[in-house]
Amino acid sequence: MSDLLQRARRVGAEVAARHASAVDADARFPRESFAALKAEKLLGVMVPAEFGGAGASIPEILSLCHALGQHCASTAMIYAMHQIQVACIVRHGQQSPWHRQLLQRLAGEQLLLASATSEAGVGGDVRSSVCAVEVEGQRLKVSKNATVISYGADADGILVTARRTPDSPASDQVIVAVLKGDYRLEQTSSWDTLGMRGTCSNGYWLHAAGDVAQILPLPYADISAQTMLPTSHLTWSSLWLGIATDAVARARTFVRAEARKKPGSTPPGALRLAESMNLLQHMKSNVVAAARQYEAALGSAERLTALSFAVAMNNLKIGTSQMAVQVVNHALLICGISGYRNDSEFSVGRHLRDAHSAALMVSNDRILANTANLLLVLKDDPGLFP
Amino acid sequence: MTTVADMIRDIFREGSILPVDIATLSDSADLYTAGLTSHATVNLMLSLEEKFDVEFPDRLLRRRTFESIDAIKAAVGELLDQKAAA
Ligand SMILES: Cc1cc2nc3c(=O)[nH]c(=O)nc-3n(C[C@H](O)[C@H](O)[C@H](O)COP(=O)(O)OP(=O)(O)OC[C@H]3O[C@@H](n4cnc5c(N)ncnc54)[C@H](O)[C@@H]3O)c2cc1C
């Protein structure tokens, strides 16, 4: 096991797990988990070694999300969203002196980055913006009515999407990295939700000012296709798999305890447990195959912006988001009332509530509609192995 | 004589592919900056396949293929050459 994974498992088991119920009940930021993740220097792990980071690979990052997801889904989701932002800077910021310095700070100070892509007026269509970057000389200004900025109040910086100029069409977007001190947040909505309560995904009016150098050089369309979309679907899927894995672990303990009470007879839940393992294996295979596909395409803008790649990453998200709920539901049926209780060691209520966010976090219907459109021109791949 | 570029421009005009008039853009202008969305790119591809009686292989189904009239012209030209040689 890698040293990084060992550290993440320790944070998960010793810190995140202990506070997960309180984080969920109070819908509060998992501050203990993030203090521990910072102390273990796990926030800046993806930053390349030349900037002071650990240069962690995508599979390593996914393993960390998966490990955290087994203990506190909110912690894991915040960790995943942060890594998605870091990935954008690592992949697309190295040519820019401002972003190179940010990379050093991400590793050195273990800064936490949030994301403001969703916006009032465009629904969940993150490939359109209403707000625009206004430039005067070397200074920029942007104000965004962001419907959801997870952990906005606890972040050290935010990656904001906006139209390139006030004259640009909605789809011609850039990403601006703004750091604490560059922006002011006016809260417009609170986050009292079914699950993922610790992500504290309030709505805000974000008012930011900064230097034009803070704009990532590549258009957002490319950053989205090459990095943000694949890393989102990969990291999210990994932590959803983590949620499902822990629910199955609880169900397995339940079935074993039953089996021990009546040796010689297979408990009724055993069959459904076998079924859950089958689904879990599907989920895992999906994540691993998609991660390999991403790694193989890394470094090639051509392969990363191919429509077939987008479809594969969309399918990963659709599949794992649905299966996570199915698996947790199986675990609930296996554990019965013990799983339904909030005060039992077999409780999977929080797992189920957290897992239900998966289909909404970029609506599956929206993603399917996008895939449906691409399939009008995409050709069938008759091969088994790529 | 109608050139390939003219025929491509016709598609933009007839299909309302862009939020702006294609006549205001040069052959080398960045179409994404002009508002080309990925959704509209699919409609564009379908119209190109219909008009030129070609099929875009997956290798050409990427963003850069459609970034300008020039880029589209190059891709269509390549497909027409292949068709002629076949
Ligand atoms: C836990 C969590 C954390 C989040 N954190 C952040 C964050 O930090 N930053 C951020 O920017 N965003 C964040 N989001 C927002 C998220 O990424 C989506 O943008 C948001 O969930 C979509 O909101 P919506 O369901 O209202 O909108 P929509 O996507 O508009 O969907 C609303 C409904 O309309 C339907 N619909 C709408 N348009 C279409 C279409 N074209 N095709 C098919 N169906 C359609 C959908 O099926 C759905 O039922 C977060 C979401 C969650 C759940």
pLDDT above 90 for A289? yes
Class for domain A220-375, per CATH?
A: mainly alpha
> Dihedrals φ, ψ of A124, to 5°?
-90, 10
Q: Across the interface, do A379 and B46 touch by the CB < 8 Å criterion?
A: no
Handedness of CA A86, A91, A92, A93 (dihedral sign): positive
User: Average pLDDT of A335-352?
Assistant: 97
**Residue boundaries of the structural domains of chain A:** 3-112, 115-214, 220-375
- List beta partners, residue A189: A203
Nearest to A167 by CA among A134, A145, A137: A134
What pLDDT is recorded for position A76?
98
- Architecture in CATH of A3-112: Orthogonal Bundle (1.10)
Q: What is the CA radius of gyration of chain B?
A: 12
pLDDT tens figures, A203-236 = 999 999 999 999 999 999 999 999 999 999 999 9
Q: What is the mean pLDDT of chain A?
A: 96
The CATH code of the domain that includes B79 is 1.10.1200.10
What single letter denotes the amino acid at residue A112?
L
User: Average pLDDT of A307-334?
Assistant: 97
CA dist., res. A61 & res. A73, Å (int): 15
Nearest protein Cα to ligand 1, atom 48: A363
What pLDDT is recorded for position A123?
77
Which residue of A lies nearest to B36 if distances are taken between CA atoms?
A171
Helix/strand/coil for A254: helix
User: Both tokens of residue A55?
Assistant: 């240069």
Residue A191: band (very low, low, confident or very high) from pLDDT cuts 50, 70, 90: very high
User: Average pLDDT of A74-88?
Assistant: 98
* Range(s) of the domain holding residue B54: 4-85
CA dist., res. A236 & res. A191, Å (int): 20
What pLDDT is recorded for position B63?
87
What pLDDT is recorded for position B4?
92
Give the list of residues 6+ apart from residue A72 with CB closer than 8 angstroms, or none: A12, A16, A17, A19, A20, A23, A30, A33, A198
What pLDDT is recorded for position B58?
85
pLDDT above 90 for A132? yes
pLDDT above 80 for B54? yes
From the alpha carbon of A196, which atom of ligand 1 is closest?
A: 1
What pLDDT is recorded for position A382?
79
Centre of ligand 1 to C-alpha A126, Å, is 9
Number of separate domains in chain B: 1
Q: Across the interface, do B42 and A376 touch by the CB < 8 Å criterion?
A: yes
* B-interface mutation test, from A307, A308, A313, most B Cβ less than 10 A away: A307
User: Both tokens of residue B15?
Assistant: 């299909």
What order of strands is seen across the sheet that includes strand A134-136? A134-136, A139-146, A203-211, A183-189
User: Average pLDDT of A27-52?
Assistant: 98
Q: Across the interface, do B61 and A170 touch by the CB < 8 Å criterion?
A: no
What pLDDT is recorded for position A219?
95
Which of A168, A172, A307 is opposite residue B62, by nearest beta carbon?
A: A307
Centre of ligand 1 to C-alpha A124, Å, is 4
Number of H-type helices and E-type strands within chain B: 3, 0
- Architecture in CATH of A115-214: Beta Barrel (2.40)
Residue A16: band (very low, low, confident or very high) from pLDDT cuts 50, 70, 90: very high
Q: What angle do CA A95, B25, B75 make, to 5 degrees?
A: 70
Using CB distances shorter than 6 Å, the residues near ligand 1 are: A 81, 114-118, 123-124, 126, 148-150, 196, 199, 201, 357, 360-363, 365-366, 369
| Percent above pLDDT 90 for chain B | 79
User: Both tokens of residue A14?
Assistant: 């010793």
**What was the ipTM of the complex prediction?**
0.90
Beta A113-116 vs A157-163: how paired, if at all?
parallel
What pLDDT is recorded for position B86?
83
pLDDT tens figures, A54-71 = 999 999 999 999 999 999
pLDDT above 80 for B1? no
What pLDDT is recorded for position A177?
98
Centre of ligand 1 to C-alpha A241, Å, is 21
Q: Across the interface, do A305 and B62 touch by the CB < 8 Å criterion?
A: yes
What pLDDT is recorded for position A118?
95
